[in-house]
C-alpha cells in the first residue's frame, strides 16, 4: 500500500469510526424507546418515524456507506465530502447528513460522473445544481470494518490507472444462491434507467448479464423514494418468469430497505384475479413439445396458439364477440310478474343501456335486476289483500327466475368456453370473425376447456373478458409494474396489464436474443411500444455485460451470430478469465468426465455449478446417474419454486435469468443444437449463465453453431 493509499485509508477509517458511533448511539436510543400501541394519532405518527429510523439504522450499521464524492457546488467556494449509502443517516445534534441515501438527487452524481475537468450537474427539486467534482472514491465496508479504498477519480491527479478496478473486484466475487443489490456499482447507463420519470412505459433491451433485473429492482426502490407521496410499495408488482426466479431475486429488495412489493408470475396473478375458476394445463408437456429435438418440434409461426391468442388482433376478435353479447344481452321481452302487470322491455333496456351504461356488463345486470325487484315490491304494495299478496309474491319470484334464465350471469371462463365449444353460439357471430381461427386451436382449446383447464395463452383473453364483464376493482390497480423476461410475454398480456396500471407506469425488460419462448412471445419491441402513446414510452439499450468473462461473452456472441440475424451483441467489461473449454468424449466416458469436471470446478473457485442438459428428460437422467455415483445435485424442473445453489442439473430452457460460477453444457452436438434461430438462442442462453467457467461436452459431431478454432476456445483434454 503506497503512502497516498495509506493516507486515504487512515482518513476513511477515522470517518467510519465516527459514523459508526453516531449510528450506534441513535440506534441504542430508539431501541430503548418503548413501542407505542395506543390510540393517540400523533404518537402513532411518531412511532412510525421511530420504526423507520430503527429499520434504516439497522440496515446501515454493518455497511453505512459504499462511496464518497467530494463536490463543490457553484458559489460555495469549497468542496464538501458526500458519503453515499443504502440509507440516509443524519447527525441528530447538527442536522447534517452523515450519509446520503443513494436515491437522493445529489447521489446521482456518484453514478453519472465518469471523469474530466468540466462542471458536473444534477437535477434537484429546486432546479439544476452544477459544480465541480474533486474526488470519487469507492469503499468496501463489511460488518463495520473498512476493507477497501479505491479512488476512481481525483481532480488533483493527472490520471488514475485503476479505471474500473472496483467494478472488476466486485464482479469477480462468486455467486451464492441469490441475486444481490448493485448500489455500490451502478453504472451511468443503468442509473439513467433507474431514475427515469415514473409515468413512462420504459422498454429495456439488455444483453445477457447487463444487469436488467437488478436495475429494475433498484428502479422500484428509487420510485418509492422519489415519489413517496404518489406510490405505495404494496401497489407495485414484479412479474417474473417462474417461482424459482422470484426466489432467486428475493433478497434484493430487503437489502435495499424496500418491503411489501408484490412479486408474482403472470400465471399466479391471473388465476387470483379470475378467482381460480380454471386450472393451468400441465406445462411440462407444453415445454417438452416446444423444446423437442429437430423435426419433433412444431413450427413457430402466427398459427401457434400463443402467438395467435396473444396478438392484439385476438383482443379485437373478443371485442367483437363481447360487443355482440352486450347488444343482445337483455332478454327481448316484457316482464310480467302476474296477469295485468307489465314492465316494458323498453324500460328495462333503458335501465341497462342508458342509466347504467358506465358500469361493466355484469354489474349493469345486477343493478337492473335489483331495480326490477324494487319495481315488483312497489307493485305488490298496491295489493291490499294479504293472502293474494303472498301468492303473487311467490309467483312473481318464480316468474323472475324464469325471465333471468334468458339473461345468464357469465363468468370470464363460461363466456370464453362458449366461443370454442357452443356451436349454436357461433351462429350469432359474423363469419369473418371465424375465418382466421385455425381449426387446430379450436379443437385443442375445446378439449382443454371441457376439463376446466386452460393454456397460458388463454390467461390474457380470460382477464380481458373478466374486465369487460366485471370491471376492475380499485384495490387491484398498480402504481408501477415491472415485467422481467418480457420478450416471452405477448402483446395481449401487456395490454391487459396496462388496464390494471395507473398512468402506464411500466419497466419492461428483456433480451430478444434470449427469446426462446418465441411460440408465445414477441419478435420486436415495437409490438409493445405500439400499445402506448409515443410520448409516454422510453426505450433503452444495455449493451455492456457484467456477468461473464470476455472469453465467455465473445464465444456466446459467435454462437448467436451463426443463428440470429443482426443480433445486439454483448460488449464485455475488461475481465479476462479462462478460455471456454470444449471436451470431446464418448457416451461411455461421458458421466465420468462430468464427475471429474464438477470435482475440478468445486476444488477451484466455483461455489455454484450448473450441469445443463438439452431437455428435461435428459436432465432427469443425468441427475439420477450423478446421484448413483455419489454426487448430490439439485434437479431443477419447471415446477421448481426454490433455487438452492450448489450443483444444479437442469434443461437449458430453464436456465434463463439465473447465473452460476461455472456452467457445464452437455451434448453440444449437431443433433442437439442445429443452426436454427431457436437452437442458437438456446445455446446462447446456456453459455451466458456462466460467470467464470464455461465447459462444453461433446459426444459425437459438434454443433455447427460452434467453431473450435476460435481464440477464446481451448480443446485441451481434461487431465486423466
Which band of pLDDT confidence, cut at 50, 70 and 90, is reported for residue 435? low
What pLDDT does 161 receive? 47
Alpha carbon 146 to its chain's center: 35
Model confidence at 535: pLDDT above 80: yes
| Contact predicate 705/698, CB 8 Å | no
Over residues 232-269, the pLDDT tens digits come to 999 999 999 888 888 888 888 888 878 889 999 999 99
| Contact predicate 173/495, CB 8 Å | no
Over residues 285-334, the pLDDT tens digits come to 888 888 888 777 777 777 788 899 999 999 998 998 899 889 989 988 99
Total-model pTM: 0.89
Most confident of 150-154, 167-171, 275-279, 494-498: 494-498
Length of the chain: 720
Over residues 477-520, the pLDDT tens digits come to 999 999 999 999 999 999 999 999 999 999 999 999 999 988 89
DSSP state of 689: T
Over range 461-484, report the average pLDDT.
Answer: 96
Residue 350: which H helix or E strand, with range? Answer: helix 345-350
Over range 85-92, report the average pLDDT.
Answer: 89
Over residues 581-623, the pLDDT tens digits come to 999 999 999 999 999 999 999 999 899 999 999 999 999 999 9
- The pairing of beta strand 120-124 with beta strand 127-142: antiparallel
| Contact predicate 596/718, CB 8 Å | yes
Among 120-134, 163-177, 553-567, where is mean pLDDT lowest? Answer: 163-177
DSSP 385-433: -HHHHHHHHHHHHHHHHHHHTTS----HHHHHHHHHH-HHHHTTS-HHH
Over range 157-174, report the average pLDDT.
Answer: 62
| Contact predicate 71/89, CB 8 Å | no
The answer for residues whose C-beta is within 8 angstroms of residue 366's C-beta and 6 or more apart is none
What pLDDT does 429 receive? 59
Over range 368-390, report the average pLDDT.
Answer: 90
DSSP 491-527: HHHHHHHHHTBGGG-EEEEE-GGG-TTTTTS-SSTHH
Distance between CA 256 and CA 240 in Å, rounded? Answer: 19
Query: One fold for both 193-277+472-545 and 550-714?
Result: yes
Tell me the CATH number of domain 193-277+472-545, given options 1.10.287.610, 1.20.1180.10, 3.40.50.300, 3.10.580.10: 3.40.50.300
Over residues 441-459, the pLDDT tens digits come to 888 898 999 999 999 999 9
Over range 351-380, report the average pLDDT.
Answer: 94
186: exposed, middle or buried (Cβ count in 10 Å: 0-12, 13-18, 19+) = buried
What pLDDT does 118 receive? 86
Model confidence at 436: pLDDT above 80: no
The answer for residues whose C-beta is within 8 angstroms of residue 365's C-beta and 6 or more apart is 329, 352, 407, 409
Q: What percentage of the chain carries pLDDT values higher than 70?
A: 94
Distance between CA 191 and CA 483 in Å, rounded? Answer: 18
Domain 550-714 CATH superfamily: P-loop containing nucleotide triphosphate hydrolases (3.40.50.300)
Domain ranges of the chain: 3-163, 193-277+472-545, 330-404, 550-714
Amino acid at each position: 500500500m503506497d503512502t497516498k493509499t495509506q493516507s486515504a485509508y487512515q482518513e476513511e477509517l477515522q470517518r467510519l469510526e465516527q459514523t459508526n458511533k453516531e449510528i450506534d448511539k441513535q440506534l441504542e436510543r430508539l431501541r430503548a424507546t418503548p413501542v407505542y400501541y395506543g390510540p393517540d394519532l400523533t404518537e402513532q405518527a411518531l412511532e412510525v418515524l421511530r420504526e423507520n429510523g430503527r429499520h434504516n439504522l439497522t440496515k446501515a450499521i454493518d455497511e453505512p456507506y459504499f462511496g464518497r464524492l467530494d463536490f463543490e457546488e457553484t458559489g460555495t467556494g469549497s468542496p464538501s465530502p458526500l458519503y453515499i449509502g443504502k440509507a440516509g443517516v443524519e447527525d441528530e445534534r447538527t442536522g447534517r447528513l452523515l450519509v446520503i441515501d443513494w436515491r437522493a438527487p445529489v447521489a446521482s452524481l456518484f453514478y453519472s460522473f465518469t471523469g474530466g475537468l468540466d462542471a458536473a450537474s444534477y437535477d434537484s427539486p429546486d432546479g439544476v445544481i452544477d459544480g465541480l467534482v474533486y474526488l470519487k472514491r469507492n469503499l468496501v465496508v463489511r460488518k463495520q470494518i473498512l476493507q477497501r479504498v479505491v479512488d476512481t477519480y481525483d481532480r488533483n491527479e493527472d490520471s488514475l490507472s485503476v479505471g474500473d478496478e472496483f467494478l472488476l473486484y466486485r464482479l469477480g466475487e462468486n455467486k451464492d444462491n441469490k441475486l444481490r443489490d448493485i448500489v455500490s456499482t451502478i453504472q451511468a447507463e443503468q442509473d439513467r434507467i433507474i431514475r427515469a420519470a415514473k409515468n413512462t412505459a420504459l422498454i429495456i433491451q439488455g444483453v445477457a448479464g447487463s444487469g436488467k433485473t437488478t436495475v429494475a429492482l433498484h428502479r422500484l426502490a428509487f420510485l418509492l423514494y422519489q415519489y413517496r407521496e404518489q406510490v405505495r410499495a404494496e401497489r407495485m408488482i414484479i412479474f417474473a418468469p417462474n417461482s424459482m426466479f422470484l426466489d432467486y431475486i428475493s433478497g434484493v429488495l430487503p437489502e435495499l430497505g424496500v418491503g411489501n412489493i408484490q412479486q408474482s408470475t403472470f400465471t399466479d396473478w391471473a388465476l387470483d384475479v379470475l378467482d381460480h375458476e380454471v386450472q393451468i394445463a400441465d406445462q411440462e408437456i407444453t415445454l417438452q413439445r416446444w423444446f423437442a429435438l429437430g423435426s419433433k418440434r412444431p413450427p413457430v409461426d402466427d398459427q401457434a396458439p400463443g402467438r395467435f391468442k396473444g396478438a392484439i388482433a385476438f383482443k379485437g376478435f373478443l371485442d367483437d364477440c363481447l360487443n355482440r353479447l352486450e347488444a343482445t344481452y337483455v332478454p327481448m321481452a316484457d316482464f310480467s310478474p302476474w296477469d295485468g302487470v307489465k314492465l316494458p322491455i323498453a324500460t328495462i333496456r333503458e335501465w341497462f343501456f342508458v342509466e347504467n351504461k358506465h358500469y361493466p356488463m355484469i354489474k349493469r345486470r345486477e343493478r337492473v335486476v335489483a331495480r326490477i325487484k324494487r319495481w315488483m315490491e312497489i307493485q305488490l304494495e298496491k295489493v291490499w289483500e294479504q293472502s293474494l299478496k303472498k301468492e303473487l309474491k311467490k309467483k312473481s319470484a318464480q316468474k323472475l327466475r324464469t325471465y333471468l334464465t334468458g339473461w345468464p350471469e357469465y363468468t370470464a371462463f363460461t363466456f370464453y368456453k362458449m366461443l370454442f365449444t357452443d356451436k349454436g353460439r357461433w351462429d350469432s357471430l359474423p363469419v369473418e370473425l371465424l375465418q382466421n381461427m385455425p381449426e387446430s386451436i379450436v379443437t385443442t382449446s375445446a378439449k382443454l376447456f371441457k376439463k376446466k383447464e386452460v393454456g397460458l395463452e388463454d390467461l390474457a383473453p380470460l382477464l380481458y373478458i373478466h374486465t369487460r364483464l366485471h370491471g376492475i376493482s380499485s384495490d387491484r390497480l398498480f402504481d408501477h409494474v415491472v415485467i422481467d423476461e418480457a420478450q416471452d410475454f405477448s402483446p395481449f398480456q401487456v395490454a391487459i396489464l396496462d388496464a390494471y396500471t395507473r398512468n402506464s407506469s411500466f419497466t419492461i425488460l428483456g433480451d430478444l436474443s434470449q427469446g426462446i419462448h418465441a411460440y408465445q412471445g414477441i419478435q420486436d419491441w415495437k409490438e409493445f411500444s405500439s400499445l402506448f402513446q409515443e410520448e409516454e414510452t422510453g426505450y433503452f439499450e444495455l449493451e455492456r455485460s457484467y456477468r461473464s468473462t470476455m472469453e465467455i461473452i465473445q464465444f456466446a456472441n459467435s454462437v448467436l451470430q451463426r443463428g440470429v440475424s443482426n443480433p445486439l451483441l454483448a460488449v464485455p467489461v475488461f475481465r479476462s478469465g479462462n478460455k471456454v473449454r470444449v471436451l470431446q468424449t464418448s457416451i461411455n466416458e461421458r458421466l465420468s468426465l462430468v464427475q471429474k469436471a464438477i470435482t475440478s470446478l468445486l476444488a477451484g473457485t466455483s461455489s455454484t455449478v450448473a450441469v445443463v442438459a438439452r431437455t428435461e428428460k435428459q436432465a432427469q437422467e443425468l441427475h439420477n446417474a450423478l446421484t448413483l455415483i455419489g454426487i448430490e445435485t439439485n434437479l431443477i424442473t419447471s415446477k421448481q419454486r426454490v433455487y438452492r445453489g450448489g450443483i444444479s442439473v437442469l434443461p437449458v430452457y430453464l436456465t434463463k435469468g439465473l447465473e452460476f460460477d461455472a456452467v457445464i453444457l452437455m451434448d453440444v452436438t449437431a443433433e442437439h443444437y442445429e443452426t436454427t434461430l431457436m437452437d442458437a438462442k438456446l445455446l446462447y442462453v446456456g453459455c451466458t449463465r456462466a460467470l467464470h467457467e464455461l465447459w462444453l461436452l461433446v459426444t459425437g459431431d459438434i454443433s455447427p453453431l460452434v467453431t473450435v478454432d476460435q481464440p477464446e476456445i481451448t480443446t485441451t483434454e481434461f487431465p486423466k
